[in-house]
Amino acid sequence: MPSRHDHEHTHDHEQDERQDAAEAAELEREARRLIALSRIRQYGDPALRMKAREVEDFDDDLLRLVERMTTLMHEAQGVGLAATQVGVLRRLFVYVDEDEDRVLLNPAIVTSSMETAAEDEGCLSLRGVLVPVERHIKVTLEGLDERGAAVRTEIEGPTARVVQHELDHLDGVLIIDRTDDESRRGALATLRPQPVLGAAAPR
Ligand SMILES: [Zn+2]
């Protein structure tokens, strides 16, 4: 018959196992995030500075692209991802709105609020950078879904910021272009390639 001590011991052991499992899951999540980021174009990549063209073909390739971008966005723990960030120069982006995955093709802002707000913004293509960017607090977008059907959506709050950020990507515009000079200088210092020990310092 187990003593009280044995019982406690068993309990502690289970708790340790649960903790180990939680830590392992967290490590895997972090590993997935880093792999996803390695598949997303990073600052310095010319694709991030190019203007994307309209989507014209609504085929299986497009559906696969949307699926791949959605998975990548989640694995990178982001809330939006534009096609230029995966090197595809077409006008589409995926984003999360109220826990729902969304996609918008050939998007355009048709109305935007007079009211704007400046808040810190990050980007999956600019690792380690967080700079204040002024955005409209409410926007109405028109575009197409992945089947080519017309979509009109009114977005406000944090998601309004996300869609304005992603739309910028399709025109080769990044958050460092939209922030103040001091924040831009700080961001560029963060983004400067770090010299690798034993290798020639990159210029
Ligand atoms: Zn971005």
176 phi, psi to nearest 5 deg = -70, -20
Q: Are 162 and 95 a contacting pair, CB within 8 Å?
A: yes
Q: Which of 75, 121, 146, 166 is catalytic?
A: 166
Between strands 131-136 and 116-121, the pairing is antiparallel
Q: What is the pTM of this model?
A: 0.86
Positions of the chain with pLDDT lower than 50, given as ranges: none
39-191: CATH topology is Peptide Deformylase (3.90.45)
Distance 192 CA to ligand 1 centre (A): 18
Q: Is residue 139 within 8 Å of residue 163, measured between CB atoms?
A: yes
Please compute, for residue 33, the number of CA atoms within 13 A of its CA located in the half-sphere on the CB side.
10
pLDDT tens, residue by residue, 50-81: 999 999 999 999 999 999 999 999 999 999 99
Active site residue 166: yes
Sequence spans of domains, the chain = 39-191
pLDDT of residue 192: 86
Of 148, 123, 154, 118, residue with least CA distance to 133: 118
